[in-house]
Amino acid sequence: MEANTTFKALRIEENDATFSSSIKDISFSALAEDEVLIKVKYSSLNYKDALSASGNKGVTRNFPHTPGIDAVGTVAESSNAAFKAGDSVIVTSYDLGMNTDGGLAEFVKVPAAWVVALPENLSMQEAMIYGTAGLTAGMSVQRLIKEVKPEAGKIAVSGATGGVGAVSVAILAKLGYTVVAITGKESEKDYLTQLGASEIMLRSDIEALDKKPLLKPLFAGAIDTVGGVILENIIKTTKPLGAVTCCGNVASIKLDLTVFPFILRGVSLIGIDSQNYPMDARTKVWENLATAWKPAELNAACDEISLDEVQAKLDLMLKGQVKRRTVVKIG
């Protein structure tokens, strides 16, 4: 690309500890010195993007900055033989959109080690309906089903209306599991049933369970997306040799537990880190998301917006007023 040509990006700027966003023309010369230049077709919105756009220094340290932890598009240039111009590719996780300029732009430039070939059976829009949230759900399912089979009993999914939770519910239901969706939003029962949940459990009900070290077994396994008391009580109500994955800490980063569930029942607690998940396992998850795990109504689970509409949607996300996945059409 010529050094004097530009592309459009959502740019977050800091001025006297105040943060503002606008669509800017950015020079290609400002891109990182990395191996793969990607012309972005779609991005998507995640809570981390909202935090970055609001100036949260725990997510993004330096500004000006372009958020967007997800991107899909076409390789424009590559100095790495693994990719060539014209390849359709996905980039999620790692440092994209955090301290590296992200996918809410017409172009991104990233290390080849971050790039995954777009599976044949997945459109670019579908890849961003999944995004990091769907990838994390897929990683959680991948680990859980190695330990717990459908006939073992019910599987709990906490934060079930969120991005990770909703995709987890849909995939598990498709794979034949009996899913108990845990939510704080009683009004979303119909939505969760449509996703495939067999039973709805209110967050307040599981939070109110007894404080004993072990509780009556309810679940054969679980995918937890929130942490805190909900995760504690899921673990305490998991059956012998059950497994629980955890990938979030919005409720709390702490767990107040004894070792009893792990020693007396042999429960496994499996951490899920989508940011640095090994590439071979990551690729397998994307292949499953494109084929055997793809929900029938995946395309109905999103709203599509333009780059100009992103900041308003991020503001709503910070207020907890966004339910469906939001895909951003860039190119």
Residue 108 and residue 217 share a domain: no
The 10s digit of each residue's pLDDT in 234-275 is: 999 999 999 999 999 889 999 999 999 999 999 999 999 988
C-alpha to C-alpha distance for 250 and 169, rounded to whole angstroms = 19
Residue 138 and residue 264 share a domain: yes
Work out how many domains the chain is built from and give that number.
2
Q: Provide the pLDDT confidence category of residue 232 given band limits of 50, 70 and 90.
A: very high
Residue 137 and residue 264 share a domain: yes
Q: What is the CATH number of the domain that holds 201?
A: 3.40.50.720
Is residue 285, in this structure, part of any structural domain at all? no
Is residue 262, in this structure, part of any structural domain at all? yes
Residue 316 and residue 267 share a domain: no
Is residue 23, in this structure, part of any structural domain at all? yes
Residue 152 and residue 80 share a domain: no
Classify the phi-psi angles of 266: left when phi > 0, otherwise alpha if psi is within -120 to 50, otherwise beta: left
* Mean pLDDT score of the chain: 94
pTM: 0.92
The range of the structural domain enclosing residue 94 comes to 6-121+298-329
Residue 267 and residue 140 share a domain: yes
Is residue 315, in this structure, part of any structural domain at all? yes
The 10s digit of each residue's pLDDT in 145-191 is: 999 999 999 999 999 988 899 999 999 999 999 999 999 988 889 98
Residue 36 and residue 13 share a domain: yes
Is residue 231, in this structure, part of any structural domain at all? yes
C-alpha to C-alpha distance for 90 and 71, rounded to whole angstroms = 6
Question: In this predicted structure, which of 4-8, 11-15, 211-215 has the lowest mean pLDDT?
Answer: 4-8
Residue 252 and residue 151 share a domain: yes
pLDDT at 141 over 70: yes
Q: What is the CATH number of the domain that holds 109?
A: 3.90.180.10
Residue 234 and residue 208 share a domain: yes
Question: Minimal CA–CA distance to 47: which of 205, 226, 204, 181?
Answer: 226
